[in-house]
């Protein structure tokens, strides 16, 4: 008999959510979200293991692929897309692979998640190899597209990681490291865009942030590789440079200009100048 997925179960406390006052419905959702965060706290050791693996892959010249369908896949693409502007990492180093392609970012692509071979084909096109790592993301842990990605990783010797809300799922069993908090059933039964999605997003940004810190893309808690591509970010870069290099705002602007907007280079230049003057 097929084991029922915890992500599809009905939450007893939410059976009458359609008749609750709005304030009470919001309170119920809030409490369930808090429960999910507590569940994530129980698997922090697995997150730490994942960070170690991903740092090792990136340092060795490999790449990291977030692979998923629907909400899970969109979250993987979102987190990968934030890495270059925030941490200055080239966009090919952390990539998102979404069932249905870019069109699925805005609209459901029916049946895309059920094709277990599509993810393997997409990873093959991208040249998946033994130096790379695949992070397969699926709240239920049963999505064929995500499972196919881990199978493809195993075939080429790439590292296999998973983010799921069911530690007994096929996806968790197929991974070397499974980040699998038991978040329980949703307020709206089966709607894993809720706390399932929330906790997958939290897991992704925790892991990616820790990886970038380990890779030296942060000093103190300042983003030393941020790309100053807007007025707000230029001001942020100038502030970071002024603070870390102990130079005035005007000199910080000059250094950024001289370094073609490369904050890390500007910081090295400022410190080199400071050492020559001591």
Residues tagged active-site: 82, 113
Secondary structure class of 223 (helix, strand, coil):
strand
CA contacts within 13 A on the Cβ side of 94: 26
Tokens of 15: 């059976």
Other beta carbons within 10 Å of 263: 27
Alpha-helix residue ranges (DSSP H) falling in the chain? 22-41, 44-59, 70-87, 118-125, 144-156, 170-174, 195-214, 231-245, 249-258, 263-276
Tokens of 124: 């093959």
Identify the DSSP state of 108: -
């Amino acid at each position: 008999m097929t084991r029922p997925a915890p992500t599809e179960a009905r939450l007893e406390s939410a059976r009458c959510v359609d008749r609750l006052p709005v304030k009470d419905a919001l309170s119920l959702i809030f409490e369930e979200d808090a429960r999910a965060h507590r569940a994530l706290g129980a698997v922090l050791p697995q997150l730490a293991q994942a960070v170690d693996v991903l740092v090792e892959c990136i340092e060795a010249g490999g790449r990291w692929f977030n692979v998923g369908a629907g909400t899970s896949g969109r979250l993987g693409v979102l987190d990968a897309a934030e890495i270059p502007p925030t941490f200055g990492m080239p966009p090919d180093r952390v990539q998102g692979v979404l069932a249905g392609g870019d069109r699925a970012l805005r609209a459901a692509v029916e049946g895309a998640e059920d094709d277990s071979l599509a993810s393997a084909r997409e990873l093959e096109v991208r040249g998946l190899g033994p130096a790379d790592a695949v992070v397969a993301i699926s709240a239920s842990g049963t999505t064929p597209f995500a499972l196919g990605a881990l199978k493809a990783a195993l075939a080429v010797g790439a590292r296999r990681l998973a983010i799921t809300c069911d530690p007994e799922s096929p996806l968790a069993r197929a991974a070397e490291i499974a980040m699998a908090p038991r978040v329980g059933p949703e307020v709206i039964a089966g709607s894993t865009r809720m706390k399932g999605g929330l906790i997958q997003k939290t897991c992704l940004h925790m892991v990616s942030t820790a990886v970038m810190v380990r890779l030296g893309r942060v000093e103190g808690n300042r983003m030393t590789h941020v790309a100053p591509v807007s007025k707000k970010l230029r001001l942020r870069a100038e502030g970071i440079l002024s603070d870390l290099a102990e130079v005035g705002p005007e000199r910080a602007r000059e250094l950024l200009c001289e370094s073609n907007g490369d904050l890390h280079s500007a910081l090295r230049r400022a410190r080199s100048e400071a050492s020559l003057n001591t």
